[in-house]
Structure 1
Amino acid sequence: MNVAPMRGGTAVQDHVALAEIELCGDLIIAASAAGEERLSADRIDEVLRVSDGREAGATGDDRR
């Protein structure tokens, strides 16, 4: 477990939470760059690095 020093104590890094925060930031940046337009579902998937399972070699359930 990685522990980062903090004033008066320690903070435990939650790698899943940090990854989610990074993805949210990426989504906010993409939305800002789009201006007044709404992001399409395809663009959101691209920003969040989501695939729909139709790519070559993909296996498993493609439901979201």
Structure 2
Amino acid sequence: MSIKWTAGLLYGYRAPYESKVPLNFRGLSPAAIPALVYEIKPGYSAQVNFLGTAGLMFQFSMPFE
């Protein structure tokens, strides 16, 4: 089990939505998405991304051979 995070910029939150995200400047706002990762076996993993109050995203990874 491990923890992972992704960071970047959100763009597009302009009037009338500029107050929907914190630290909004001209439609740009910083974002961070934390995730919980479980490695099932080497190369295979399941991940849950936490999207704040908006929801969850589930991912499954496996190798292509």
Answer yes or no: same fold by TM over 0.5.
Answer: no
Computing the radius of gyration from Cα coordinates, the structure with the larger value is 1
Larger helix share, 1 or 2: 1
TM-score by structure 2 length? Answer: 0.27
* Greater RCO structure (CA 8 Å; 6+ sep): 2
Structure with the bigger percentage of strand: 2
TM-score w.r.t. the length of structure 1 is: 0.27
